Amino acid sequence: MKVDQNPAMYTCGGNKNNFRYPYCYGDFTYATKVNEKTKLIEELLRNVHSSSK
C-alpha cells in the first residue's frame, strides 16, 4: 500500500479534523472501512428504532 511506503506523505497535512484521517490519500481500502462502519450504524439505528416502539 502506498501509505506504507511513505507514511509521512499521507497524514491529511496534519489535519486530524479531516474526515479521512488517518486514512488520507494512500489507503485505498478506505471505502471498505467506511462501508463496515455504515453497517454498524444501520444496526444501531434499527435497535434504537425497535426499542422506541
**pLDDT of amino acid 3:** 64
CA dist., res. 40 & res. 3, Å (int): 26
Kindly state the percentage of the chain with pLDDT values over 70: 75
User: Would you state the pLDDT for residue 27?
Assistant: 65
> Domain tally for the chain?
1
What value does the mean pLDDT of the chain take? 78
Q: Which residues contact 30 (CB under 8 A, 6 or more apart)?
A: 20, 23
Tens digits of residue pLDDT in 9-33: 767 777 878 777 766 766 667 778 8
What pLDDT, on the 0 to 100 scale, is given for residue 25? 66
Q: Does residue 53 have a pLDDT over 70?
A: no
Residue ranges making up the domain that contains 20 = 2-51
Our CA angle for 19, 25, 30, nearest 5°, is: 60
